[in-house]
């Protein structure tokens, strides 16, 4: 708790198209923390991120960003968040720079060429492809540009929906280092993933979501990582049920 708490869901209930998708989940993420949300398809992970962005009004419970109820000031909430959508597709007819410029301007941020180059280096996007249109990119290359955008937004909070999907192993490793660095510099990261091993590597805490319910939470012991085996067991046993 305290003023370091950036994200909080309190008995959050979401109904989409008449169906209860989240049934009263509660968790919170502090600044400098990486929280991984794990769960099978349709468990409600993306829905959780969307509700933090104010896209889905809760039917019960509440959601807070930096201690403020999201729906009471949606714009402020969104301004504090960099969001990486699940199927992140930027504009196909623009190159990496043009895409970044457009989305940064949308967030009313300056276009800083040096920062952009450094960030694209960090996500390992080959420099010769940066001036090519995204229609000539592979899935992983597109994902790298989208990740770069989320980082360039330089917000306090990052909501990442399956950020490593499509990335090759070395890019995944580098991404995990990146996320750790961000958290260590004080950012708050809530990421959704299917990758149990990766989640355990990077997360301070991990929530297991199943059919709209938070069925387990794991916290890394001080100075250590979360134990993969335990999460794996919990994940598969819950599924086997």
Partner 1 sequence: MNIASALIREARFVSYDRVFLGWLLVVFLFAAAAIGSGLAETQHQNETIQHLVEADQRDRASEYSKQGDWGSAAYYSFHFTYDPPSDFAYAAMGQRDAVPWKHRLRMLALEGQIYEHDAGNPELALIGRFDFAFFVSFVVPLVLIFLLHDTQASERVAGRFDLLVATTGTDGFLWWTRVFLRSGGIIVATILPLIFAGSLNDTSFSTLISAIGYVIVYLVFWTIVCIWFSSWRRSAPVILSALIGVWVLLGTIVPAGGRVFIDRIVPVPSGSEILLTQREAVNDAWDLPVETTMTAFFERHAEWKGYTKTGDGFDWAWFYAFQQVGDQETERLSVAYSKGRRERDRLAGLLSLASPPALLERSLQRLAQTDSAASLVYETEVRQFHLALRKFYYPRLFREEPFNVETFTKLPQFSPAS
Binding residues among 70-99 for ligand ATP as defined by CB under 6 A: 86
Residue closer to partner 1 by CB (options 161, 195) is 161
d(CA 93, CA 103): 14
Residue 46 contacts Mg ion per CB under 5 A: yes
Binding mask 45-74 for ligand ATP (x = CB under 6 A): xxx---------------------------
The residue among 26 and 87 lying less far from partner 1, judged by its C-beta, is 87
Burial (CB < 10 A; 0-12, 13-18, 19+), residue 219, is exposed
Q: Which of 53, 211, 215, 220 binds partner 1 (CB under 8 A)?
A: 53
Measure the CA angle with vertex 151, ends 92 and 12; round to 5°: 95
Total residues contacting partner 1 by CB under 8 A comes to 27
Residue from 7, 9, 12, 21 binding ligand ATP (CB under 6 A): 21
Strand 34-39 and strand 19-30: the pairing is: unpaired
Residues contacting Mg ion: total by CB under 5 A: 2
Closest C-alpha among 40, 42, 5, 41 to residue 26: 5
Of 9, 12, 25, 43, the residue at the interface with ligand ATP (CB under 6 A) is: 43
Nearest distance in Å: CB 193, ligand ATP: 9
Query: Which of ligand ATP, partner 1, Mg ion, none does 17 bind, CB closer than 5 to 8 A by kind?
Result: ligand ATP
Asked if 196 and 235 count as a contact pair (C-beta separation under 8 A), the reply is: yes
CB 150: neighbour CB atoms within 10 A? Answer: 24
Contact, 9 vs 28, CB < 8 A? Answer: yes
47 binds Mg ion (CB under 5 A): no
Among 39, 54, 58, 163, contact with ligand ATP (rule: CB under 6 A): 39
Q: How far apart are the C-alpha atoms of 4 and 1, rounded to whole Å? A: 7
Tell me the closest approach of the beta carbon of residue 83 to Mg ion, in angstroms.
Answer: 13
Distance of CA 151 to the CA centre of its chain: 11
* Binding residue for partner 1, selected from 36, 50, 172, 179, defined by CB under 8 A: 50
48 lines the binding site for Mg ion (CB under 5 A): no
CA distance 143 to 178: 14
Q: By CB under 8 A, name the one of 3, 18, 93, 240 that touches partner 1.
A: 93
Beta bridge partner(s), residue 207: 37, 217
Which residue's CB is nearer to ligand ATP, number 30 or number 86? 86
The 3-state DSSP class for residue 167 equals coil
The residues that touch ligand ATP, with contacts defined as CB under 6 A, are 16-17, 21, 39, 41-47, 86
């Amino acid at each position: 708790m305290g003023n370091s708490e950036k994200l909080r869901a309190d008995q959050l209930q979401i109904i989409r198209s008449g169906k209860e998708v989240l049934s009263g989940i509660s968790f919170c993420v502090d600044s400098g923390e990486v929280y991984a949300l794990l769960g099978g398809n349709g468990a409600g992970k993306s829905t959780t991120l969307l509700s933090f962005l104010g896209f889905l009004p809760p039917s019960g419970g509440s959601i807070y960003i930096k201690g403020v109820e999201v729906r009471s000031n949606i714009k402020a909430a969104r301004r504090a968040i960099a969001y990486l959508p699940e199927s992140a597709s930027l504009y196909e007819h623009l190159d990496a720079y043009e895409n970044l410029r457009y989305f940064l301007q949308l967030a009313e941020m300056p276009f800083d060429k040096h920062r952009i180059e450094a960030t694209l280096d960090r996500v390992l996007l080959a420099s010769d492809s940066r001036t090519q249109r995204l229609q000539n990119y592979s899935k992983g290359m597109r994902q790298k540009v989208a990740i770069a955008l989320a980082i360039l937004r330089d917000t306090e909070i990052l909501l990442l929906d399956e950020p490593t999907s499509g990335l090759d192993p070395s890019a995944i490793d580098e991404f995990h280092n990146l996320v750790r660095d961000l958290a260590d510099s004080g950012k708050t990261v809530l990421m959704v993933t299917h990758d149990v091993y990766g989640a355990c590597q990077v997360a301070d805490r991990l929530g297991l979501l199943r059919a709209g319910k938070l069925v387990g939470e794991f916290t890394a012991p001080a100075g250590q990582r979360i134990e993969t085996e335990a999460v794996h067991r919990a994940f598969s046993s819950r599924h086997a049920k």
